[in-house]
Amino acid sequence: MSKVLEKISKAVIQGDDDEIAELTQDALDEGLGAKEILQGGLMPGMDHVGVEFKAGRMFVPEVLLSARTMKGSMAMLEPLLAEGESIAVGKVIMGTVEGDLHDIGKNLVAMMIEGAGFEIVDLGTDVSPAAFVESVKKEKPDIVGMSALLTTTMRNMGRTIDALKEAGLRDQVKVMIGGAPVTGDFAEQIGADGTASSAPAAVDLAKSFVDLV
Ligand code: B12
């Protein structure tokens, strides 16, 4: 790995969002492309963060700092791309389902998935099946992520999948679901493609959907 990519990786791991702009500029000055910087510096750093978080050696505030550092670099790289080109490894729309206002877990998952190089469209909370369908039509994501924390709103995940089917869009996206009451059995029952109970596991699941692992 080139020295500057190594430094970028380290800045992501340390959540050093002061230094990341300068390092990204150094890498560009050395002639490295946006994709090289993403794949050779930012993503290896974020992968390391995921491993450390899973092992209990890093905690949520540090992970959020790392994600913010990564975002800072990506904001500099995006405008350099040709029109229509993207450095994102995939696009994910995320929302908490209808009737449900819990968003702490969803936001955490969204930030970590974004930190892993995905583009995130966050629909917020209390998102109706129709709003998910509209967003899939407009954004053409690879993945739809739904969160629910209430046993009463969990069924709206199934209703959203049914609405995607009715709109003829179900085969165009992978659907992942999560939230404290969600189980693997439930995911299977409603026809989701998978579930994960933590943010790093959600990152692994999203990556598996776009053939990154
Ligand atoms: C904070 C909180 C609130 C806050 C929410 C603030 C916010 N902005 O989110 C407020 C005060 C608003 C609230 C309101 C209510 N709450 Co509340 N709330 C909680 C609490 C204490 C913590 C939830 C949380 O944030 N956890 C931390 C995050 C990080 O964990 P997480 O959400 O599970 O997310 C992780 C995973 O599940 C997963 N994940 C999450 N989403 C996704 C999505 C995908 C795609 C994937 C792959 C993974 C994934 O990854 C995340 C990261 O690790 C829980 C109790 C608990 N311990 O869970 C009750 C709890 C969920 N609430 C409960 C209830 C009953 C309510 C109310 C109905 C209370 C009332 N009578 O008004 C209202 C409902 C409001 C509504 N319409 O939604 C009950 C639900 C009971 C049930 N079985 O249905 C709980 C379990 C409390 C209890 N023991 O009774 N609540």
Task: Report pLDDT for 213.
Answer: 63
Summarize pLDDT for 144-182 with one digit per residue, the tens. 999 999 999 999 999 999 999 999 999 999 999 999 999
Short-list 22, 186, 193, 213, CA closest to 117: 213
| Ligand 1 neighbourhood includes 178 CB (under 6 angstroms) | yes
pTM, rounded to two decimals? 0.85
Most distant CA atoms of the chain, gap in Å: 55
Res 199: pLDDT:
84
Q: Which of 97, 100, 102, 127 to mutate to test the pocket of ligand 1 (most atoms within 8 A of CB)?
A: 102
Q: How far apart are CA 80 and CA 75, in angstroms?
A: 10
| Mean pLDDT, residues 184-191 taken together | 98
Is 175 touching ligand 1 by the criterion CB < 6 Å? no
pLDDT at 74: 86
Write phi, then psi, for 122 (nearest 5 degrees): -95, 115
Ligand 1 atom 46: the closest Cα is on which residue? 178
Beta strands in the chain (DSSP E): 91-96, 119-122, 143-147, 174-178, 194-195
pLDDT, the chain, mean: 92
Q: What are phi and psi of 115, to 5 degrees?
A: -60, -25
Highest mean pLDDT among 51-60, 83-92, 183-192: 183-192
